[in-house]
C-alpha cells in the first residue's frame, strides 16, 4: 500500500517512484486488498513479497522482507 501511494503517475514518468509499467496494475490492485486477506492467501502473499523485494530500495526499512542473513550461512 505504501509503494502504491508513491506511484501517483502510474509509471508515466521514469522518476524512480512507485511501480514500473509492468507492475503498476497488479501492484495497485494488490494494495486495494485488505492486509489480512493478503497474508492469509498464499498467492497474494507471494505477490506482495516479490514486489517488496523488487522495490526494496524504495521501501522504508520496516517494510523490507529480505530473509535474515543467517539463512545464507552454509552450515
In whole angstroms, what is the distance from residue 60 CA to residue 2 CA? 9
Nearest 5°: the CA angle 52, 55, 60 is 75
Task: Dig out the grid coordinates for 19 from the structure.
Answer: 511501480
pLDDT tens digits, 15-66: 677 888 889 999 999 999 999 999 999 999 999 999 988 988 888 888 777 7
Task: Dig out the grid coordinates for 40 from the structure.
Answer: 492469509
Query: Whole-model pTM above 0.85?
Result: no
Amino acid at each position: 500500500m505504501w509503494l502504491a501511494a508513491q506511484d501517483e503517475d502510474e509509471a508515466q514518468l521514469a522518476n524512480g517512484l512507485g511501480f514500473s509499467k509492468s507492475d503498476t496494475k497488479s501492484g495497485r490492485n494488490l494494495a486495494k486488498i485488505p492486509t489480512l486477506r493478503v497474508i492469509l492467501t498464499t498467492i497474494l502473499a507471494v505477490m506482495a513479497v516479490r514486489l517488496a523485494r523488487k522495490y526494496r530500495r524504495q521501501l522504508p526499512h520496516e517494510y523490507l522482507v529480505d530473509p535474515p542473513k543467517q539463512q545464507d550461512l552454509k552450515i
